[in-house]
Amino acid sequence: MSMKLINYLKPDKIYDSVEEIDLRELWREGFRGILLDLDNTIAARNSNFLQSKTKNWVSKAKKIGFKVCLISNNLEKRTSEVARELSVFYVARAGKPRKRAFLKALERINLTPQETLVIGDQVFTDILGGKRASLYCILVKPRASNDLLHTKALRLLEKYFLSKVGLK
């Protein structure tokens, strides 16, 4: 595997969940924006239920000063409902890992790639797309295991890749 490809797939950090991420540390490092995946990152796939600890984490991010934007491959209706509940920006039907959706999210929060990070649960959508847009990328473990068939297959590849680069 080429080094260039490895760099596009390798997250900068890995956490068990979004709530474990130290927002104050990220702020001190100069980050001002968070592009946040929806499915299996902050809510189980196809569920609009958000745990109170997740809502509190997003609320804390906004209080610190972060601009937050959901970026999801999911449909407009679901993404907009969750975004409204959290009072954050959003990009639905993103088509990740295409770079265009990440650039659109950056426009929405009016920040540069250097000031912004992406948090997601999938290497081949969230991390690859974030790296293509020159973003700092954080991978979290999925909230639930009820993935689509193609996502389950990608998770096997993801697990293999992360073990090969010493990250799992």
Query: What residue segments make up the domains of the chain, in order of their start?
Result: 3-163
- Cα 29 to the chain's mean position, in Å? 18
Percent over 90 (pLDDT), the chain: 71
Instruction: Say yes or no to pLDDT of 153 above 70.
Output: no
Say which CATH topology domain 3-163 has.
Answer: Rossmann fold (3.40.50)
pLDDT for residue 162: 61
Query: Is the pTM of the predicted complex or chain greater than 0.85?
Result: yes
128 bridge partner residues: none
Kindly report the number of other CB atoms within 10 A of residue 34's CB atom: 27
